[in-house]
Chain A
Amino acid sequence: MKPHNNQPYYQETVLYRWGLFGLALENILFKLLNRRSDSDILEYPETDRMEMLRPRSFVMRYVDCGSCGGCELALQRVNNPVWDIQKFNINFESSPRAAHALAMIGPYVINSTERAQRAYDAMPVGAIVLIGDCTIDGGRIRGAYSLATRPDWFQNPIDVIPGCPPSIPVIEEKLLEISQKVKLTPHWKNIIKFLRLRRYHT
């Protein structure tokens, strides 16, 4: 099958013979020569509302509480070059100590209670986001014997993203709302007050 517009997508470079210099040059030339995007086969435009909700930073830590992996694929998809939530300064990092919120995915299963509790204890501000139908009330796994009783902090999330798996526009909009909301919770106000006092004294 040929492409529909008869243009080559990639020009072969023969720079691997030049060793490491060739590899570096190949990387640069690859980016320069292949600037044509895949926009001809992708069709979702960005809305004006997304332009407005711009860039407060928001750092999340992903915690798996017994999920099937569908919401995981959806979140990996949101970090695509196409649906780039990193342009809104929303990142998934690997430490709960530096996280603004925990993203919990999965029904709260007994084998994952300890892990979730440790991640929550390590956070400076206890803020939770529940992603997926399973996390909210059990979803398709309602009534199983392996679901643990949820602690109080699990039942008071900042916000909830429904769906099985949630669709990408919904995830994006909700995460943008949450990045605004999380800075208005009482914990954050105390911390900001403390920071203001510190700056005043110095």
Chain B
Amino acid sequence: MNDFDRFAHDPRFEVAIKMNCKRYTLHKNEPPENDRPEALLQYTYYELYTKVDLSVIMKWARAEQYYLCTIFINDEINSDAGTFSMNYIFSGGIPATITGVKYLFDPKEGALPSATTLYPNAESLEQEYDLFLKEDWNREQFGPPKVLLRKPPKGLAPMRQDRYSELIKHLIPKYYHLLEPYLDNLAAGRTTVVGDIHAQIIGGGLFLFTTDGEIIETVSIVLGEQFRGIEKLFETKSLLSGWSLAECVAGESSFAHSMAYCQAVEALAQIRPPKPAVYWRALFLELERISNHIGNVAALYQDISVDSLCSRLLNLQEAIYQLNEKLTDNMLLRGVNRPGGIILNRGKRDFPPLNEIHERVAEITYRFLLLCEAGLNNRGCQKRFSHTGIVTRQQANEQGATGIIARSSGEVGHDFRILHRSGVYQENERIKEILNSRWSSGSQKEFKKKIYLEDLIGDANARLLLRIAEVESSSKIIGEIAATLESFGEKSKLMNARIGTALEAKKAYVDFGLGLVEGWGGDVVYWIMKGPDNGIARCSLRDPAAYNFPVMQLAVDRNASTGNENILADFPIINKSFNNSYSGYAK
């Protein structure tokens, strides 16, 4: 509850950290820097037993402006601890490191501490506590969360270790969480319900607007239609075969999710994938980013009814999809990542050589930039995009926005390719330069519009400009990667490392691994704990949509202090400029 405020002026908090908690490092005998597995980050780990230290550490983290990566509960009945544990993972400091905080608690206690006073983005993650706890855990004191999630009924606790799916299915009633409870108590004459199913080929959620004339005052978002219980399903898979399920969480960013999963397993085994695999992974990640950004810009122009630009941009997205299919037989790059490396059939008939990949991507970006320049010079489009859905820098910082939304609000350094460098982004100097200069694009002669920091005020225009800049920077990165891959020569045939024996040597219910990837919408975080027989005891995943949906609510609501006023027709533009994945939020 208000544990954090009691220790606001406690001068002893530094002493408390040293005395009352144990400190671990992930590896006792750390190998020298050159051999350190690239998926591992400098990791310090605090284990706590009392609430005092937890509040102190949280206050300190917030004061140092640490970014909260995930929160999750772990049922550790089978390990030495024997109880439940709440885990917080932060990233912060210069150079950026990861700190993890683990707080052991007894599930029969009523009141659990909540991090929402300091980290509002924790709300969407704390809604999943209900999946572990049978009784209420004192959540009502904070009021309803910003984005409601339809979850299984209370008392079920499906994520516990002693529950399995057949047992749970008998306990779930036939229908639950119908639409009616959300449609009660609406202000008569002033609400608009944009319902469960949406008009085009798009999966959606329920949006309830309260309007003052045309202007939106507030919106309440109800999600969770795509709730599949994937975290529980991971426990039926083995470590080496779970990547297929990780791709299924969010189809748009399936490569980023599978890459984070594989990095977590490699961190668990302390095995480093071979260099060609690392470079190919980065190449595919950037390809995914380009295809999604182009599609997003096309959809934005479709919402404004500029179909001429939309259809031409969809042609370019189609070209990228066809390139994907030539490389991997799958338009979403599925089936490529494995723990230990990748699997690529380079002997295929249509497999293009590396310089041809680079040329195609470069031509596609050239045409993309020309089309976008036409759109940006059009004043009608500018009027629709500018000053709609403003998210200020302070809001993005406090509410914990990630990815494009944080960068377009002014926090341009919030990119996990820059902060936690690993692999390609650590070794190649030119790629670092490219990433640091995204917002001063205009190096191509024909694209005259430059993107300056002053343009990044957090509206839909800023997000559009930043997506264009990211496409450009991604194509340059692909060029660099292709050049280095050609220089490898014969070594580039080795793509996969043996990981099975290293995994068997690890202890079940004790060893864990963390994987962090900057996907096209933000950072994807996977935490995996090993179970018996090379299985998975707990897999906790976090998609960037979990942080960006509440921020979208802020962008839509009327806010006099920031001057944010949107009409009902602006909502599709805001929704599309954020482009959070509904299935990533409700996993």
Q: CA separation between A30 and B176, bound complex, in Å?
A: 53
Q: Which residues of A contact B188 (CB under 8 A)?
A: none
Instruction: Give A112 to B225 CA distance when docked, in angstroms.
Output: 6
Once the chains are docked, how many angstroms separate the CA of A156 from the CA of B370? 49
- Cβ-defined contact, B226 with A42, below 8 A: no
Determine the distance from Cα of A168 to Cα of B318 in the docked complex, in whole angstroms.
11
A75–B201 touching, CB < 8 Å: yes
Quick one: given A63-B197, A109-B226, A144-B228, are A165 and B332 in contact (CB under 8 Å)? yes
For B195, the closest partner residue in chain A by CB is A115
Neighbour of B203 across the interface among A64, A80, A119, A164, CB < 8 A: A64
Does chain A have a CB within 8 A of B144?
no
- Interfacial residues of chain A within 80-129, with CB under 8 A of chain B in the complex: 80-83, 92, 94, 105-107, 109-115, 119
Question: Is B583 among interface residues, defined by CB-CB distance under 8 A?
Answer: yes
User: Which of A30, A68, A71, A148 has most chain B Cβ within 10 Å?
Assistant: A68
* Selected contact of B379 from candidates A16, A43, A111, CB within 8 Å: A16
In the docked arrangement, what's the CA distance between A31 and B334, Å?
36
Contact at B251–A165, with CB atoms within 8 Å?
A: yes
Contact status A66-B225, CB under 8 Å: yes
Report A110 CB to chain B, min CB distance, Å: 7
Find the B residue at minimum CB distance from A64. Answer: B203
> A-B contact count, CB below 8 Å?
183
Question: Are B370 and A9 interface neighbours, CB within 8 A?
Answer: yes
Interface status of B25 (Cβ within 8 A of chain A): no
Cα distance A4–B177 when bound, in Å? 57
Residues of B137-191 contacting chain A, CB below 8 A: 150, 152, 158, 165, 168-169, 172, 174-179
A94 contacts across to B, CB distance below 8 A: 199-200
Indicate if the CB atoms of A83 and B581 lie closer than 8 Å: no
Chain B's closest residue to A78 (CB) is B201
**Using a Cβ–Cβ cut-off of 8 Å, how many residues does chain B contribute to the interface with A?**
74
Q: Is A196 an interface residue (CB 8 A)?
A: no
For residue A38, CB closer than 8 A to chain B, the reply is yes
Surface stretch bound by A, among B118-126, B355-363, B393-401: B355-363
Nearest residue (CB) in A for B245 is A140
A84 to B231, CA, bound (A): 38
Bitwise interface map of B from 314 to 338 toward A, beta carbon under 8 Å scored 1, else 0: 1111110110010000111010000
**Is there contact, CB below 8 Å, between A140 and B248?**
yes
CB distance from A50 to the nearest CB of B (A): 18
- A69-B203, A145-B165 known; A38-B315 Cβ under 8 A: yes
Q: How many residues of A contact B (CB 8 A)?
A: 64
Contact of A43 among B322, B363, B367 (CB under 8 A): B322
Q: Smallest CB–CB gap between B451 and chain A, Å?
A: 19
Q: Which single member of B225, B332, B380 contacts A64 (CB below 8 Å)?
A: B225
Q: Which residue of B lies closest to A14 (CB)?
A: B377
CB distance from B157 to the nearest CB of A (A): 12
Those of A28-63 within 8 Å (CB) of chain B: 30-31, 38, 41-44, 62-63
Question: Inside 8 A of A16's CB, which chain B residues have their CB?
Answer: 377-379
- B366 and A38 contact, CB distance less than 8 A: no
Complex partner residue of B236 from A75, A106, A113, A143, CB under 8 angstroms: A143
Closest approach, in angstroms, between the C-beta of B172 and any C-beta of chain A? Answer: 7
B254 — nearest CB in chain A belongs to which residue? A70
Inter-chain contacts of B363 with A (CB < 8 A): 1, 3-4, 41
Chain B residues packing against A (C-beta within 8 Å): 150, 152, 158, 165, 168-169, 172, 174-179, 196-197, 199-204, 224-230, 232-233, 236, 244-245, 247-252, 254, 295, 308, 311, 314-319, 321-322, 325, 330-332, 334, 359-360, 362-364, 366-367, 370-371, 374, 377-380, 581-583, 586
28 residue pairs of the A-B complex, CB under 8 angstroms, read: A1-B362, A3-B366, A16-B377, A16-B378, A23-B380, A30-B308, A42-B318, A43-B322, A44-B322, A66-B226, A67-B203, A67-B226, A68-B250, A72-B202, A72-B251, A80-B311, A92-B201, A106-B203, A106-B226, A110-B172, A112-B225, A141-B248, A144-B228, A144-B233, A145-B168, A145-B169, A145-B229, A165-B251
Q: Taking beta carbons and an 8 Å cutoff, which residues of A are in contact with B?
A: 1-4, 9-10, 12, 16, 23, 27, 30-31, 38, 41-44, 62-64, 66-77, 79-83, 92, 94, 105-107, 109-115, 119, 134, 139-141, 143-148, 164-165, 167-168
In order of increasing CB-CB distance, the 10 nearest A-B pairs are: A70-B251, A69-B251, A64-B203, A1-B362, A94-B199, A145-B168, A145-B165, A68-B251, A146-B229, A66-B226
